[in-house]
A = this chain, B = another copy of it.
Amino acid sequence: MTPNPTFENLAGRLAEHFGPRFSRGESTRLQHGRDESVHAPQLPDGVVQAECTADVALVMKLCAEHGVPVIPYGVGSSVEGHVLAPRGGISLDLSAMNQVLAIHAEDGDATVQAGVTRKQLNEALKGTGLFFPIDPGADATLGGMAATRASGTNAVRYGTMKDNVLATSTVLADGRILKTGGRARKSSAGYDLTRLLVGSEGTLGIMTELTVKLYPIPEAISAAVCTFPSIEAAVQTVIQTIQLGVPVARIELLDALSLKAINAFSKTALAEAPTLFFEFHGSPAGVEEQAQTVQAIADELGGTHFQWATRPEDRTRLWQARHDAYFACLQLKPGCRCFPTDVCVPISRLAECIAETQADIDQVSIPIALFGHVGDGNFHLVVLVDPANDKEMTEAAWISQRVVERAIAMEGTCTGEHGIGLGKRKYLVAEHGEVAVEVMRAVKAALDPGNLLNPGKVLP
């Protein structure tokens, strides 16, 4: 890299302020220039480890003075290239901002630094009778989860990050510190800046502290698993369950290939057929009633091997296959990478969307497992590729484009929970229209006129 006097000046200032917490080393930059997806790494020019909101504000202020981009970084578990640095700049690592600042058990909320992970928060909540439900799979930071509007398995009951972030401290593009929201459960006081930031992927501000909702640990939990003769039958079971208003906490679908992968991975002998996994939260009588209602629905639709359990060890056993699914699928093609896709459609279109997608899958050579959080109409394809193999990458891109276009045509979205990042910018106009993207650009320009906050992400 040719020395750039502006950047060298900034680097000097950062080194002076942050000492060893500022790094320009190749390995640190590589670690911060890639994520869990197939996107080729794009390295930042330097990395700062922040420890508090004031650190973030200082970095932002210095970078604004020098016109250098800032890319917030949590644990790098994103899958749409969110943390890559296509225009270089400073990767601002928030993982050391991992303090749980306050737990208000009476109010059911907690305030954390943005680098706290969801598992860490749940550890800190032990003994309070409360938990934080949002579970995107990875042990992501809450800041990263808020930035991508993450959700996961139990969003069908507890909502997404949009529903569960009450307040933020956020550093703006010029280093000012913004407070949004508050701890009241509802408010009609002014524009909803919290929800403008949630899902903005670090392009409007850097969230450094979050207040999130907590929930009472259910008095009772039951789990159930059921095998179906077809994906269609499984999805119809989901639709009827939701339409009856059963307050199910999780409904997960795995396709036959996923089950085959699990049997190979875990040496089990599960039926290699579409399978639904349920979890119910409530009173002991309530969870039993929910399981019975779902069993009755499943029975009518040809479901078999319905098993349900309430003891923790039995529940864990029933759900083990679901927990193993992602890693089991990766073993279908040793050494591969996952090309992730994630769409969400109105539930009335889910069976049709999955059936048409299965027909596409039958046309390609690469293994593709399908599973998802079907209670919300959200599903993923685990597309397994060798990134160096052009044919495989072309097939993966084709499958991904087809499923996204299909979801949008069915009044759905190009991403239910992964975010836009780099990978899905090209679908933003198709999904929302030109005017909406113009408005997003206007909001971006108003808050980040120099385009320094995670530039190149979200907006096409």
Residue on B nearest A204 in the bound complex, by CB: B191
- Asked if A458 lies at the interface with its beta carbon under 8 angstroms from chain B, I say yes
A450 to B68, CA, bound (A): 32
Check if A179 sits within 8 Å of B435, measured CB to CB: yes
Given A285-B289, A411-B184, A447-B439, A199 and B190 touching (CB < 8 A)? yes
Given A107-B347, A283-B289, A182 and B413 touching (CB < 8 A)? yes
Contact residues, A183-208 vs B (CB, 8 A):
183-193, 195-196, 198-200, 204
Given A163-B163, A348-B106, A416 and B187 touching (CB < 8 A)? yes
Given A177-B435, A447-B439, A151 and B424 touching (CB < 8 A)? no
Contacts from A to B (Cβ < 8 Å):
104-109, 148-151, 155, 159-160, 162-163, 172, 176-180, 182-193, 195-196, 198-200, 204, 215-216, 218-219, 239, 242-245, 247, 282-283, 285-286, 289, 344-348, 376-378, 407, 411-420, 424, 427-428, 431-433, 435-440, 442-447, 458
Count this chain's copies in the assembly. Answer: 2
Further pairs besides A184-B407, A191-B204: 17, Cβ < 8 Å: A106-B346, A108-B243, A163-B163, A176-B435, A177-B435, A179-B432, A185-B344, A186-B413, A187-B344, A189-B420, A189-B428, A191-B443, A192-B199, A218-B245, A247-B247, A282-B286, A442-B447
A439 to B204, CA, bound (A): 11
A104, A108, A439, A443: residue with the most chain B Cβ atoms closer than 10 Å: A439
A104, A187, A442, A446: residue with the most chain B Cβ atoms closer than 10 Å: A187
